[in-house]
Amino acid sequence: MSEPVHLQPVDAAVVTIVVDNYVDVLLPSTKVVQRAPRAWDAFERNPLIAEHGYSLLLTVHHNGRAESLLYDAGLGCHTLAHNLDALGIRPDEFDTIVLSHGHADHYGGLVNLRHRAGPQPMRLVLHPDAWRDRKAIFPTGDESHLPPLNHDQLDRAGITLVEERGPSLLLDGMVLVTGQVERATDFERGHSAHQAYLNGQWEPDPWIWDDQAIVCHVKSKGLVVLSGCSHSGVINILRYARRLTGIEPVYAFVGGLHLSSNVFEPIIPRTIKELATINPQVIVPGHCTGWKATHEIARRMPEAYVQSSVGTRLRLV
């Protein structure tokens, strides 16, 4: 790629954690981090739900107007819509959803959300490999099926599908979808336990090529990068975002880093060393990051680290 993508800078980016693995209603707010509201009847309402899934709402502000899109849709069919209701976010506030990759803990709430949104158009931006039927094989020999999205079900729900392998721009050029991430580091090597059903048989699928991030550029601050699981490797993602945009400073990273399990824990030191070199001002590790990596990030980058929790809203200006 010879010329950088022209990413329209924004005045502010607001990231709301709608679905994640963890919720703590007692966390304190700060100037940047607004935790879920504490109402008089908070313990009498339907509570926010945490699950092994992920979903973020990104709202960008530019010249007095705001535009939003949803990134991922959680695992449970009702969790996403439930949490949006609990947070007072209407499904008609956005008409675009970007899928980070084709694992069920990132698309499970799509169809129910579409039914709740009413007649407005809704489009889903995804990489073509997101349709793969997959499984994961664990060291114990146990296997977990990772079912693909159901094309017919999405069609019947009236969701417009937009397949893109490369980078693309959304919201009048204010948000970049990276598309397939360039794998350049020598330590982020995928997961050998992943397989996909191709050509009538199970074949190795370690790279999860459909893994893609979304990026915006906050004026005078730098890039805000959101990632679902970082199967590409978080350092690959951040370097690729820089290369695509030609913008070096990374202001914030929000997402899963997939550094849990015996397979990935050995690369925690190298990953966090490189992350500290990139030096985002805000880092919110969530979903599949893992306890050890999360605590090491908090230890190594205490000023940047923000504990993730469902209902958290980050105002990045």
Q: Residue 268 corresponds to which amino acid? A: I
| Residue 62 DSSP one-character state | E
Residue 112 or 262, more confident = 112
- Whole-number percent of the chain with pLDDT over 90: 91
Asked if the model's pLDDT at residue 1 lies above 60, the reply is: no
Distance CA 31, CA 238 (A): 25
Count other C-beta atoms under 10 Å from residue 201's C-beta: 8
Asked if the model's pLDDT at residue 169 lies above 60, the reply is: yes
CA 311 to mean position of chain CA atoms? 15
- Whole-number percent of the chain with pLDDT over 70: 99
> Which two three-digit tokens encode residue 226?
């959101």
Distance CA 58, CA 228 (A): 13
The mean per-residue pLDDT over the stretch 15-22 comes to 98
Please provide the average confidence, as pLDDT, over all residues in the chain.
96
The pLDDT tens digits of the residues spanning 56-86 come to 999 999 999 999 999 999 999 999 999 999 9
What's the confidence (pLDDT) of residue 42? 87
Asked if the model's pLDDT at residue 234 lies above 60, the reply is: yes
Distance CA 217, CA 220 (A): 9
| Residue 224 DSSP one-character state | E
The pLDDT tens digits of the residues spanning 171-190 come to 999 999 999 999 999 999 99
The pLDDT tens digits of the residues spanning 204-231 come to 999 999 999 999 999 999 999 999 999 9
The CATH code of domain 12-182+191-316 reads 3.60.15.10
Strands 143-146 and 175-177, by their bridges, are: unpaired
Output phi, psi for 306, to 5 deg.
-130, 130
- Asked whether the beta carbons of 256 and 54 are under 8 A apart, the reply is yes
List strand residue ranges (DSSP E) for the chain, in order: 12-19, 33-34, 55-62, 65-71, 96-98, 122-126, 134-137, 143-146, 159-163, 168-170, 175-177, 194-198, 201-204, 214-218, 222-227, 250-256, 282-286, 313-316
Q: What confidence tier does 38 reach under pLDDT thresholds 50, 70, 90?
A: confident
Asked if the model's pLDDT at residue 108 lies above 70, the reply is: yes
Asked if the model's pLDDT at residue 200 lies above 70, the reply is: yes
The pLDDT tens digits of the residues spanning 138-153 come to 888 999 999 999 999 9
The pLDDT tens digits of the residues spanning 247-292 come to 999 999 999 999 998 889 999 999 999 999 999 999 999 999 999 9
Domain ranges of the chain: 12-182+191-316
- The Cβ-side half-sphere exposure at 243, using a 13 Å CA radius, reads 14
Asked if the model's pLDDT at residue 52 lies above 60, the reply is: yes
What's the confidence (pLDDT) of residue 37? 87
Asked if the model's pLDDT at residue 2 lies above 70, the reply is: no
pTM of the model: 0.98
